[in-house]
Structure 1
Amino acid sequence: MVEDQAVLPSTEDKILSAAINLMEKKGYKAVTMKEIALAAGFSEMTLFRRFGSKKSILDAAVEKYSYNFCMKKIFEEDIIYDLEHDLTLIAKMYHKYMNQNKKIVILSFQERHFHPEIGRKAAENPKILKEYLLRYLSEMKRREKIKGDDIEANVMSFLWVNLGFFMAQFVAGEEVSPMNETEFIESSVKLFKSGV
């Protein structure tokens, strides 16, 4: 019988994880290649051989950690055109994604003025989700399951409410609200449903 063995992180994974942790805490500019190497457990030479520069490490981290977006499956396989059910699934996946990638999301906010490409990369997933939601609510309107005419405003409201909760939890935790993610999703979806 073969025993399951845990998959160990690769050299690249260790370097990228160390870089994101340091950059999220100190900012991109303040972190040195030496600090990243030390935190990752490798020599600076290994970092330079693998990536060439700190900027390349950042680019690789953004690329790796910002593409775990699984909304396509929900919209293609799990939607049943019941607004409360569907928006709950979507909100749960959104928060799962945001929490898995919170350091890169926060880093993209911190570095957007100095590295606008990070902001552009980070904006790709919300743009994709917006398109899915626009198509979904348009179809709900066609099926006469919602009344509202301004579908884009409804989509943006849904996105901003979820982003706002994520940011408030990340920045202040329970100091803003003791409501947990499950309670938030349930109440916000019901509120959204009553407005459309």
Structure 2
Amino acid sequence: MDETSQKIIDAAMELIKEKGYVATTTKDIAGRANINECTIFRKFKGKKEIVLTGMEQEKWRGNISPAIFQNITWQLQPDLEMFMRNYLDRITPDFVKLSIGLRAPQIYQDTRPQILKIPKVFLETLIQYFEKMHEMGKLPLLDYECLAMTVFSSTFGFTFLKASFDDQLTTVRQEEYIKNSVSLFVKGIEQR
């Protein structure tokens, strides 16, 4: 990828994060990239191609894979903290804003598969973890998909609210949230 193309992609993705796909124009992208608008069309067919090319780059996608959840101790509290922490370290409020901007009806059919990979990997990996914990006799037989959805919803909810309201809604810090929410979750399982 040449430097100009990368500047175009970076400008487009930043603008979409700030104001959404629909409101971002090629003129805006050119201005942010400090290039002439016609240069965009020499490098890309249009805004949609810029975005889809950007989503292929690690810096513009969530980069969630089972490999980031491999530091397992087989102890519920520290493992769930690790799951949440590793997710939140990658799916930042800035990434959530970009993801929201990429859900415009004009492009969502194309961006949806890439966006959907993030929660799917988290959920599938967590379900497998719960199943293995059960096999090891460390968890009772429960609805592991429901447990995984609870952990995911709590994790995503935190970053979504931070993306939406920063510290205006709550001043609870990420690490405090992780420890306290996992502690409550583990206590709930233990009481079953």
**Normalised by the shorter chain, which TM-score bucket?**
0.7 to 0.9
Map of 2:156 onto structure 1: 163
1:66 aligns with 2:58: no
Structure 1 stretches of 5 or more lacking a match? 1-8
Q: Where does structure 2 lack aligned partners over 5 or more consecutive residues?
A: none
Aligned AA (2:73): I
Tell me whether 161-170 or 43-52 shows the greater mean CA deviation.
43-52
2:115 aligned partner, one-letter code: A
Q: Which residue of 1 aligns with 2:183?
A: 190
CA distance in 2, matches of 1:93, 1:11: 32
8 Å contact 1:71–1:90 — kept in the other structure?
no
Give the structure 1 partner of residue 77 of structure 2.
84
The residue that corresponds to 2:23 in the other structure is: 30
Deviation at 1:40, TM superposition (A): 0.6
**2:91/2:159 contact within 8 Å kept:** yes
Distance in 1, Cα, partners of 2:187 & 2:6? 44
Match for residue 124 of structure 1?
117
The offset of 1:162, in angstroms, is: 0.6
Task: Tell me how far 1:133 sits from its aligned partner.
Answer: 0.7
Per the alignment, do residues 101 and 12 of structure 1 end up closer, same or farther by CA in structure 2, a change over 3 Å counting? Answer: farther
Q: Would the alpha carbon gap of residues 179 and 129 (structure 1) be closer, same or farther in structure 2, given more than 3 Å must change?
A: same
C-alpha displacement at 1:91, in angstroms? Answer: 0.8
Partner amino acid, structure 1, of 2:102: S
The CA distance in 1 between the partners of 2:3 and 2:160, in whole Å, is 30
- Aligned residue pairs, count: 184
Larger relative contact order, structure 1 or 2 (CA cutoff 8 Å, min sep 6)? 2
- Distance in 2 between residues matched to 1:145 and 1:42, nearest whole Å: 58
**Cα displacement (A) at 1:67:** 4.9
Question: Structure 1, residues 93-119: CA drift from partner, whole Å, max 9, x if none?
Answer: 10111116334222234x2x3322222
When residues 137 and 104 of structure 1 are mapped into structure 2, their CA distance, relative to the original with a 3 A threshold, is same
Q: Distance in 2 between matches of 1:49 and 1:67?
A: 28
**In percent, how many aligned pairs have the same letter?**
28
1:108 corresponds to 2:99: no
User: What is the TM-score of this pair, normalised by structure 1?
Assistant: 0.85
1 CA distance for matches of 2:67 and 2:11? 30
- Rounded to whole Å, the distance in 1 between the matches of 2:169 and 2:27 is 37
- The corresponding residue for 1:3 is none
Query: Over the residues paired in the alignment, what is the CA RMSD in angstroms?
Result: 1.9
Of 84-93 and 151-160, the range deviating more from structure 2? 84-93
